[in-house]
Amino acid sequence: MTTNTGAALVGSPSRARVRRRNAHPPMRRREVAGAWTLLGPYVVLLLIGGIIPIGYALWVSVQVSPTLLEPNKTGFGGLGAYAKAITDFRFGQSFGDIFTVLLVWLPIMIVAIVGLALLVHASPGRFGSIMRFIYYIPGALGGVANLMLWVYLLNPSQSPISGFLSAMGFTTIKQVVATQGDLPVILAAMLLLQGLGQWIVTVNGGLNSIPDETLEAASLDGANAWQLAWHVKLPMIRQWIGYAALLNLAYGFQLFLEPYLLNQVASGALASEYTPTQLGYWFAFVGHDFPAAAAMSVIIVIITLAIGLIVVFRSGLFAVEEH
């Protein structure tokens, strides 16, 4: 029962369906009515949790942005809020910051996911599953617990790697986090530890869907474990690697929790608008500029939606692309 096979079944219309539609119209009507009854609760939640907020954000984003002189001015503002968000000096910076983090993190992440997934896959039995479980633990703890783990790691006064930190010349966690150039590396390390386990399991799922015969045939042809991984398994999980890269890319764009909380730990020494999502949060909660906050989130939604469309229609994992 892999996602692969499940996904392959998505939206495959059969001729039988067309035939039945014409043969039993009353039964079809009952079926349609039943379908929408069963879908009811989900459609309501989809509207409340997805469609309406996006529509409303689009509407808010074309309203007039409040200014210091006219804090209560309302009405249609065209693309003014977008202009305001984009021309804000932090807009370019926050995207630049995200790109820096992605540049440091994403390549290491993908190599680590694929490498460890191949190693786990090459270790059948108890050893492999224990390792996979251990790699999974940090991700299972969740965002805030993970952050506390990092606070413990990065605070030179009691860190288990305090020797390393003091050798680097750090005495406080504020220094560690706020020293120029450290933040992208720390964020990359946090994201790596947090996400690795889950993605090893995912890519491992892809590896498990390779037919045994293929692997046996390669072994008989004289491939050793390394050649098997490099020449047989790797090409066969290409789409899973692409999936992992795209989803992690989308994840990177919305980064919020880690830089937001690290800033608190560093007593506010970091930029509080380090990432685009943080900037959107700033517009809403500090600037009280809802149109600019809405414009900011529409921009982020468009970026992640574009990545999502590629994943759903082009990754080959969901098989909705034919027709």
Partner 1 sequence: MTETTVRSTRVGTVRRWDAGRITRVVFMTFIALVFLYPLVGFFAVALRSDAGVAANSGGFLGLGNISFTAIQHSWNEIIAYGGLDTPHVYLTWLGNTVFVAVIGGILALVAALPSGYALARLRFRFQRTILVITLLAMVMPNTVLVIPLFLEVNAVNAVGELWPVAIIMGFFPFGVYLSYIHFRTAMPHELVEAARIDGLGEVAIFLRIALPISRQAIALVAFFSFVANWTNFFLPLALLTSSFGTQTISVGIQSLISSSPLFNPTAAAGTPIKLYMPELALATAISTIPLLIVFIVAQRFLIRGQTVGAVKG
- Decide: helix, strand or coil at residue 108: helix
Cα separation of 108 and 188, whole Å?
9
Stretch that binds partner 1, among 72-80, 95-103, 215-223, 230-238 (CB under 8 A): 215-223
What part of residues 290-319 is at the interface with partner 1 (CB under 8 A)?
A: 290, 293-294, 296-297, 300-301, 304-305, 307-309, 311-312, 317-318
Stretch that binds partner 1, among 42-50, 78-86, 88-96, 230-238 (CB under 8 A): 42-50
Is residue 208 part of the contact set for partner 1 (CB under 8 A)? yes
How many residues bind partner 1, per CB under 8 A? 122
Question: Which of 85, 90, 106, 248 is in the footprint of partner 1 by CB under 8 A?
Answer: 248
Cα separation of 187 and 192, whole Å?
8
Question: Which of 74, 157, 171, 214 is in the footprint of partner 1 by CB under 8 A?
Answer: 157
What part of residues 22-41 is at the interface with partner 1 (CB under 8 A)?
A: 27-28, 30-41
What part of residues 116-145 is at the interface with partner 1 (CB under 8 A)?
A: 116, 119-120, 122-123, 127, 130-131, 134-135, 137-138, 140-145
- Which residue is listed with tokens 């037919």? 211
- Decide: helix, strand or coil at residue 191: helix
- Which residues fall within 8 angstroms of residue 314, CB to CB, at 6 or more apart? 321
Alpha-carbon separation of residue 220 from 169, 194, 213, 214 (angstroms): 55, 39, 10, 10
Cα separation of 101 and 188, whole Å?
6
Is residue 189 part of the contact set for partner 1 (CB under 8 A)? no
Q: Quick one: tokens of 173?
A: 């966690």
Is residue 53 part of the contact set for partner 1 (CB under 8 A)? yes
Is residue 165 part of the contact set for partner 1 (CB under 8 A)? no
Is residue 277 part of the contact set for partner 1 (CB under 8 A)? yes
Is residue 169 part of the contact set for partner 1 (CB under 8 A)? no
> HSE of 10 in the Cβ direction (CA atoms, 13 Å)?
15
Question: Which of 104, 106, 173, 176 is in the footprint of partner 1 by CB under 8 A?
Answer: 173
Question: Which of 60, 101, 106, 190 is in the footprint of partner 1 by CB under 8 A?
Answer: 60
The DSSP result for 15-62, as a single string, is: HHHHHHHHH-HHHHHHHHHHHHHHHHHHHHHHIIIIIHHHHHHHHHHT
Cα separation of 197 and 210, whole Å?
21
What part of residues 74-113 is at the interface with partner 1 (CB under 8 A)?
A: none
Least distance in angstroms from the C-beta of 100 to partner 1: 19
